[in-house]
Chain A
Amino acid sequence: MKRARNVAIVVLAAVFAISLLANFFAPAPYAMQFRDFISSPASRRFWLGTDELGRDRWSRLLYGTRISLLLAPAAALLSTTMAVLIGGVAGYLGGWWDRVVLRVIDIFLSIPWLFLFLIVRALLPLNTSPLTSVIVTFTVMGLLGWASPARIIRAGAQSLRGSDLVLHARACGCPGTRLLLVHIVPNLKPVVFAQFWISIPTFILGEASLGLIGLGVAEPLPSWGNLLRELANPRAVMSNPWILAPLVVLVVVVSCFQLLLPQKEFAS
């Protein structure tokens, strides 16, 4: 198992490094249309062929990977931070507070937030650059993703509150803030870390799904989501299997994240 995790770390680091250096590795700008080479198969010039507008698929994959790989962890960080603040405090305070937060979480989880992406898309100023709009998309995903980790973190905080350790500290007259910062938060670390790690692939897959229904990253900026849109054309996939490349990279990266997951967290 340990060997597998090492491999995962190496693979992730490699993918990350290559995509960060996309400007260096990509043979063409991602939006450049080679209009005389529409949907061409893989060749020495275009390693993965070109898409319907004659854009080099390999370059697009590099830039797309960079966007997904950089922004998904950022969104995960955002959502986990919110989850800790909301869930952790609710679990720690307990009582009335806890019940209210739990209801809010329930309501939050029940609203079909997919609609929000539709609206955010339409509300953004039109001159927002594609990059800003991607960042906004991921931020919104991060802002919406807090509720389910918050439930779990809340449960963790709650059980800590009743634990001997905290009872003991309290009995010794430890003040509330100190109790929270010194005793509870550090002990929540494994749960929080697990939640953070779990949500990275969730956001990656989430962006991909959004991209597939046309709510993801705006053209011409590539991302895994809009690269995967090419899969909607079955015959093209059969005649040109290179279209599957983004899917392969996605699966590899997400698998690596899965391998690095703390093992105990199988339940969620």
Chain B
Amino acid sequence: MWIGRIGRHLAVFVLTTVIAGLLGATLMRFGPGFEADEQQLDPRLDAQSIQALRDSHSQERNLLSFYGHFLGRLASGDLGFSRSLARPVRELLSERAKVTLQLMGAGLAGGWILGLALALPAAIFRARLFDVASTAISSLFLCVPTAVLALLLFSTNGPVRFAIALLIFPKVFRYARNLLADAYTQPHVLAARARGLSGARIFFCHVMPSAAPQLLALAGVSLGVAFGATIPIEVLCDFPGIGQLAWKAALARDLPVLVSLTIVVAALTQLTNSASDLAIAACRRGRQ
């Protein structure tokens, strides 16, 4: 029963991921410019070479057979070969995933530290001035496009990773503040306070246990948000990560890269979506 349910969920997950991945690449296949190549404009190439250049796309022309081959190879762990970058896709992905993970990791850590650092005092002490000030700051950053933030940091030679932190922190702050404020007003916490328990003890033994599941769910959501910001940031600030790879592959109509990437993105999005569902459910349970 248990295993059956998990198995079914897993099957749906895999199926959705693959469908989304293939659909995403189909978009590029039927978009204009699929069979064009920059090299065609090179006057040194003779007619046969230009023809050969055009024919090099022929394998991908029939999407069904291309996808068939792709999925077949995927089963054995082979993601194909990128024509535009002349490298195996798997190599490209693993090497660029590192950059993106670092970018996201630093951004997420920074955003959470900043967000919690502001949310905790706001929830615990409930000083009105502090609350207004921190809300104002977080709202301000909510209003600046991340790409602009990244560009500003980048052009002033600042740490671009912080752009993601500044994107994440207002969301963490708002959610965590309300969550913690709720937790602090729960009867058992109030009782603990009345009995004179230390602040740390109340926080770790009574507040955190009730807020933790929702914060975890929020962590999942913030992962998705951070990932969504990587394409513009990496493109604008020249980070050789996954986002930039996606952009380059789209410009070069590089199908093997695009399919693999969209599958990765689809898997990630689904994970974060489930996280946000959990968050909403947890939230509702918390309120009831």
Interfacial residues, chain A to chain B (CB-CB below 8 A): 103, 106-107, 109-112, 114-116, 118-119, 122-123, 151, 155, 201, 205, 208-209, 212-213, 228, 231-234, 237, 247, 250-251, 254-255, 258-259, 266-267
Contacts and interface: CB of A to CB of B under 8 A. Distances in A.
A209 B142 contact: no
A212 B280 contact: no
A110 B139 contact: no
Contacts of B261: 112
Nearest to A117: B250
A266 B178 contact: yes
Interface of B: 12, 16-17, 19-21, 23-24, 27-28, 31-33, 139-140, 142-148, 151-152, 155-157, 174-175, 178, 231-232, 235-236, 246-247, 250-251, 258, 261-262, 265-267, 269-270, 273, 279-280, 283
A90 B36 CA distance: 42
A110 B266 contact: yes
B165 to A, nearest CB: 17
Nearest to B265: A112
A246 to B, nearest CB: 10
A255 B140 contact: yes
A122 B12 contact: no
A75 to B, nearest CB: 16
A115 B236 contact: no
A212 B175 contact: no
A151 B139 CA distance: 25
A254 to B, nearest CB: 4
Given A212-B145, A234-B156, 7 more contacts: A112-B246, A119-B27, A123-B31, A213-B232, A231-B152, A234-B155, A251-B143
A106 B273 contact: yes
A209 B146 contact: yes
A107 B155 contact: no
B147 A212 contact: yes
A110 B16 contact: yes
